[in-house]
Amino acid sequence: MGDHLARLAAAAADRVGTSRLYFEGAWHTGAELHARAVRVSAGLRALGVGPGDRVVVMMANCPEVGVTYTAVWRAGGVVTPVIFLVSPAELRHAIVDSGAVAVVTTGELLPAIRRATEGLAVKVVVAGATGEPGVADYADLESAGPAEIVDRSPDDLAALLYTGGTTGRSKGVPLSHANLAQGGAASRSVSYVPGLNCGLLALPLAHSYGILVTVGAMHATEPPVTVLMRWFDAARWLELAQEHGVEVTAVVPSMLAMLLGQPLEQYDLGTLRHVYCGAAPLSPALAVEFERRVPSATVLEGYGCTETGGIISTTPPDRRRLGTVGIPVPGVRVRIVGADGRTVPTGTDGEVVVSGPNVMAGYWHDDPDESSAVTDGWLATGDIGRLDPDGYLSIVDRKKDLVIRGGYNIYPRDVEDVLLTHPGVAGAAVVGRPDPRLGEEVVAFVALRADAGVTPEELVTFARERLSPTKYPREVRVIDAIPLTSVGKVDRKWLRAAVHAEAAAATPEAGAGVR
């Protein structure tokens, strides 16, 4: 059974076809959604999508996202999810780099899609926008007759997600059917608690965390109820949690921070038991404060990255150890290594390296002449962590320069390149500043050209007009010169130390709590 994901979805529809999805006032059963996916799959094949073809899916959360993922897998294609907040330039890079043959989107995003695909031979499919010139209607795809699943091998590509480091453009992360299916199974085997079946999902389904939750649900053995949000809104989240008696949810730390800014005590959240948190570092104080205000809930932290299908470790519901990201999920091995690549003693800090059936083989378009992130099956995560004697993993810091704002990865060079297009900017460097609500905030240091009459506020506006809402810097600091290391590279360590010191000085005294 090589085509894991398509057959898992089909089996889940048979096994728990009475599962229900609530979205913006309407209910959908698992059987109904699967029947739609079968028809859309046939429509995609009629459109020319074949085995191994990449299909970009760029939508805000809606039932059609899951339908499309399953349809692409049934057709033998490769899902290439893109978060709807990206700029047209970023979207174009994903389309061109992946070699996508089609883009599936919704009507409100069509203007950005048109800009991104200008001059490209790529088909565009739009849900909810009938009569649009030059695009295929999603409803027409659904009118196709059913078609059988296209056989694929376990190692065949199932998804191509875009992430990246602090240098260069975003990289493609290829994940096989086995990577995703086995990662989802391992995650569910640790986190699932029988009887907790009503979940609230506001994570972007285009993010590796959202995909992990989606694939994990394919292993369900009893009919779940899922309440899906188009995007996260703290007040609406609380209304839905109360209305549906939500028992379990998955969030990122910034969502918890936003919820704490709401009058939680005015809502009946007594059914909420487990709050799974990942995608960014979680402050223990944030978890403690949420649990104080919602006594029925327990916050359970996990850890993963795109290169591992979103999962490396998670916290068993009955064995939480606050301040850790839990234990490795079944099948995944974790080592902590020093600069020499050798395993360090228990309790010692070092780089986290992982291996397992969910780990990618290597980046898309990897240069064979360059060192790879994966060596002999072991992925170097770039994160610094430690293992305790019981195998619980703690993440200490990030080795990479990546900034994670509200659970979204932000690559400094993307921001720097935009700032450097301003005629008054001579140099730019971007780092993350600790932020109690979002985890990190983007701070840009710029050196101006002589006699440049530009203010920091004008540079923020300049960047905001050219970058996605999650990415542009909220703060620009003008300095005389960008600090460099002895080999001429930007000294980000110095810049980070400066903003971290300021953040520490501004932190309320211990015991003040989270506000």
**pLDDT confidence band for 132 (50 / 70 / 90):** confident
Average pLDDT over residues 262-269: 96
**pLDDT confidence band for 168 (50 / 70 / 90):** very low
Q: What is the pLDDT of residue 44?
A: 96
Which amino acid belongs to residue 472?
Y
pLDDT surpassing 60 at residue 104: yes
The answer to whether 354 touches 308, Cβ cutoff 8 Å, is yes
- Domain membership of residue 425 (yes or no) is yes
Angle at 282 between CA 171 and CA 388, to 5 degrees: 95
Read off the DSSP letter of residue 145: P
Lowest model confidence (mean pLDDT) among 17-21, 196-200, 375-379, 396-400: 396-400
Cβ-defined contacts of 262-265 (< 8 Å, 24+): 262/234, 262/235, 262/238, 264/238, 264/293, 264/294, 265/293
pLDDT surpassing 80 at residue 361: yes
Q: At 96, which CATH number?
A: 3.40.50.12780
Lowest model confidence (mean pLDDT) among 33-37, 194-198, 394-398: 394-398
**pLDDT confidence band for 485 (50 / 70 / 90):** low
Sign of CA dihedral 393, 399, 400, 403: positive
**pLDDT confidence band for 274 (50 / 70 / 90):** very high
pLDDT surpassing 80 at residue 41: yes
Average pLDDT over residues 180-202: 89
- Domain membership of residue 123 (yes or no) is yes
With residue 213 as reference, give the H or E element that holds it: helix 208-217
- Domain membership of residue 500 (yes or no) is yes
Q: Where are the beta strands (DSSP E) in 436-511?
A: 439-448, 475-478
The answer to whether 186 touches 331, Cβ cutoff 8 Å, is yes
Q: What is the pLDDT of residue 130?
A: 67
- Domain membership of residue 282 (yes or no) is no
pLDDT tens across 52-91, in order? Answer: 999 999 999 999 999 999 999 999 999 999 999 888 988 9
Domain count, the chain: 2
According to DSSP, the β-strands at 350-355 and 333-337 are antiparallel
pLDDT surpassing 70 at residue 3: no
- Domain membership of residue 457 (yes or no) is yes
- Of 133, 154, 177, the one marking the end of a domain is 177
Beta sheet of 225-228, edge-to-edge order: 26-29, 20-23, 225-228, 198-201, 248-251, 274-277, 298-301
Give the mean pLDDT of the chain: 89
Average pLDDT over residues 486-512: 68
Which amino acid belongs to residue 455?
T
Q: How far apart are CA 330 and CA 163, in angstroms?
A: 25
pLDDT tens across 48-60, in order? Answer: 999 999 999 999 9
Q: What is the pLDDT of residue 510?
A: 32
Lowest model confidence (mean pLDDT) among 181-190, 396-405, 464-473, 499-508: 499-508
Average pLDDT over residues 374-397: 92
- Of 177, 194, 210, the one marking the end of a domain is 177
Q: How far apart are CA 502 and CA 368, in angstroms?
A: 42
Residue 241: name the closest of 208, 280, 201, 277 by CA: 201
Q: What is the pLDDT of residue 16?
A: 65
Read off the DSSP letter of residue 343: B
Structure tokens, 500 = 């971290």
- Domain membership of residue 438 (yes or no) is yes
Q: Which residues contact 215 (CB under 8 A, 6 or more apart)?
A: 5, 8, 180, 181, 183, 184, 309
Q: How far apart are CA 159 and CA 65, in angstroms?
A: 14
Sign of CA dihedral 70, 71, 77, 80: negative
Q: What is the pLDDT of residue 17?
A: 66
Q: Which residues contact 111 (CB under 8 A, 6 or more apart)?
A: none
pLDDT surpassing 60 at residue 118: yes
pLDDT tens across 301-354, in order? Answer: 999 999 999 999 999 999 999 999 999 999 999 999 998 999 999 999 999 999
CB atoms within 10 A of CB 239: 12
Q: What is the pLDDT of residue 374?
A: 92
Containing structural domain, residue 95: 4-15+32-177
Lowest model confidence (mean pLDDT) among 172-176, 306-310, 433-437, 447-451: 447-451
Q: What is the pLDDT of residue 489?
A: 64
Q: What is the pLDDT of residue 512?
A: 32
Lowest model confidence (mean pLDDT) among 89-98, 244-253, 282-291, 316-325: 282-291
The answer to whether 79 touches 69, Cβ cutoff 8 Å, is yes
- Domain membership of residue 220 (yes or no) is no
Look at the chain and count its residues. 515
Percentage of the chain modeled with pLDDT above 70: 93
**pLDDT confidence band for 167 (50 / 70 / 90):** very low
The answer to whether 209 touches 310, Cβ cutoff 8 Å, is yes
**Which carries the bigger pLDDT value, residue 418 or residue 485?**
418
Q: Which residue carries 């609230």 as its tokens?
A: 200
**Which carries the bigger pLDDT value, residue 332 or residue 398?**
332
Q: What is the pLDDT of residue 216?
A: 83
With residue 255 as reference, give the H or E element that holds it: helix 253-260
Structure tokens, 370 = 């360059």
Q: What is the pLDDT of residue 280?
A: 77
- Domain membership of residue 130 (yes or no) is yes
Structure tokens, 182 = 């086995």
Q: At 475, which CATH number?
A: 3.30.300.30
- Of 128, 150, 177, the one marking the end of a domain is 177
Q: What is the pLDDT of residue 370?
A: 61
